[in-house]
Amino acid sequence: MIIPPHVLSAARQIDTAGYVYDLDILRSRLSQIEDALPLKRKHIHFATMANDHTNVLATIAETGHGVFVNSPLHLRLALSSGVAAKQTIYAASNMSGSEMRMCLNVGVHLVLDSAGQVASLDAIAPTNTPVGIRVNAGSAIEGPSLALEASYRFGLLADEVDAVQRSTRNLRITGVHCYFGTDILDPRTLLDGLDRLASIAVLLPDLEYVDGGGGFGIADDFDSPAFDLAAYGRGAAAIIARLEERLRRPVTLIVEPGRWLSAPIGWFFARVIDVKPRADRILAGVAASVVQFPRMLLHPEKARHPCEIVDGRHRLPAALPVWVTGNSTYSRDFLARGAALPNPKVGDLIAFHNAGAYCRSMRTRFLGKEDPEELFLHAPDERRPLVDAFANAAQ
């Protein structure tokens, strides 16, 4: 995967380490996903946990799409970046009464995680408040295909749904939601989930939408085939069409991609400071830490980022694998493990791809490192001030 020249010229300004994002790539990916869903009624809600920078959120707002948030902080960031409350889905588990009240005041659409949470909101919501429910329709968190675990921590069980929807006085349950896992590369897994979700959706007399969550994968290496978005779109349209036919009413499809939309918009760059040749590997020490680029810290077994030495393509590959090490005393401070790179040299700039998702949003204070520099290309010009509705409601 070639790094665009304008991204590279921005990266060359980075002294030690930092992120470069190109928001035109985000715009293009939003159009791709929109075009790939051949449905009349569809909404794309970017999952802000993937990237919570206000430039990213302002780009989502500028393109007219919505967001999916799961915390007051992300709600505030989204609203202050220009996302409309009515285009915001707020879902969390174990929401407190004050969190629910704040959401009602701001006017976001809430998705509730349990029978107890439905009862709590029903007790304080105005009449006729539309909400969604998260249901347990299976999860592929632990393996490549969906498994239905009754003890899974999220959502209502399918056999709780009817009683819950009959029990509400003020709430109208207009949607079902499920999240099947992250980084799923086979669209059939997500479609299987969507189909299961649709079969639970028929239990809701007020149904207006089905929210199939995120999970659209980005392969960790450039040789693996990309997620087949067109196949997902065709399959999803067929599932929604069957549901509409069965219910004789229009149904909207909602998706909440995080990684697929934002991973390829960003790169992390780090300068080589020290090189240690070892018997079985080369240690390339950079002026950055895994805490600043933390997907590998949180998911050491799974997460990988393709990486390359900038301007190093003409150099021969090193005879040994390269381990990119961080500038701390933490023994697992690795930004890459066993990478196939040319022999690293002091002063080289290493580029890590797919750094736009679950990187800046996962930074941690562990090890006491500064937040790395972030450069944004093609950012929206106009930034809107904090929306008063949130500031007032949040008090």
Ligand X SMILES: Cc1ncc(COP(=O)(O)O)c(C=O)c1O
Assess 214 for contact with ligand X (CB under 6 A): yes
> Residue written as tokens 């959706």?
201
Tokens of 101: 């009240």
Taking the least distance from each CB to ligand X, the nearer of 7 and 49 is: 49
Stretch that binds ligand X, among 6-14, 193-201, 255-263, 387-395 (CB under 6 A): 255-263
Which one of residues 50, 78, 102, 272 is an interface residue with ligand X (CB under 6 A)? Answer: 50
Residue among 43, 33, 48 at smallest CA distance from 177: 43
Cα–Cα distance for residue pair 199/201, rounded to 1 Å:
5
Q: Which among 101-109, 164-172, 235-243, 254-262 is the span making contact with ligand X, rule CB under 6 A? A: 254-262
Told to check if 259 binds ligand X by CB under 6 A, we report yes
| 108 forms part of the interface with ligand X (CB under 6 A) | no
Counting residues that bind ligand X (by CB under 6 A) gives: 16
Measured from the CB atom, is 204 or 357 closer to ligand X?
357
Spatial contact of 394 and 102, defined as CB atoms under 8 Å apart: yes
- The phi and psi torsions of 121 (rounded to 5 degrees) equal -70, -40
Residue 215 makes contact with ligand X by CB under 6 A: yes
Binding ligand X (rule: CB under 6 A), the pick from 132, 257, 266, 356 is 257
* Binding-site member from 21, 68, 209, 232 for ligand X (CB under 6 A): 68
User: Which tokens go with 144?
Assistant: 């490549």
Angle at 260 between CA 327 and CA 365, to 5 degrees: 30
Whichever of 180 and 293 has its CB closer to ligand X, that residue is 180
Residue 357's contacts (CB-CB under 8 Å, 6 or more residues apart) are: 50, 51, 218, 258, 259, 261, 262, 263, 266
Backbone angles phi, psi at 9, to 5 degrees: -70, -30
Q: State which residue, 252 or 328, has the beta carbon closest to ligand X.
A: 252
SS3 content of the chain, % helix, strand, coil (to 5): 35, 25, 45
Stretch that binds ligand X, among 125-133, 211-219, 286-294, 365-373 (CB under 6 A): 211-219
Cβ atoms 330, 245 nearer than 8 A = no
Is 213 one of the binding residues for ligand X (CB under 6 A)? yes
- Using rule CB under 6 A, residue 175 touches ligand X: no
Which residue's CB is nearer to ligand X, number 185 or number 282?
Answer: 185
Least gap, CB of 214 to ligand X (angstroms) = 2
Q: Using the rule CB under 6 A, is 102 a contact of ligand X? A: no
Residue (144 or 317) nearer to ligand X, CB? 144
Burial code (b: 16+ CB inside 10 Å, e: under 16) for 315-351 equals: eeebebebbbbbbbeeeebbbbeebebbbbeeebbbb
Spatial CA neighbour of 251 closest among 187, 196, 188, 204 = 204
**Listed residue (113, 66, 58) closest to 85, CA to CA:** 66
Nearer to ligand X (CB atom), residue 216 or residue 323:
216
Q: Which is nearer to ligand X, 132 or 213 (CB)?
A: 213
Specify the stretch interacting with ligand X by CB under 6 A; choose among 78-86, 250-258, 279-287, 326-334.
250-258
Contact between 132 and ligand X per CB under 6 A: no
Paired with 307 in beta bridges are: 352
Of the candidate residues 72, 187, 258, 264, the single one contacting ligand X (CB under 6 A)? 258
- 179 lies in the binding site for ligand X (CB under 6 A): yes
**Residues binding ligand X (CB under 6 A):** 47, 49-50, 68, 91, 179, 182, 213-216, 256-260
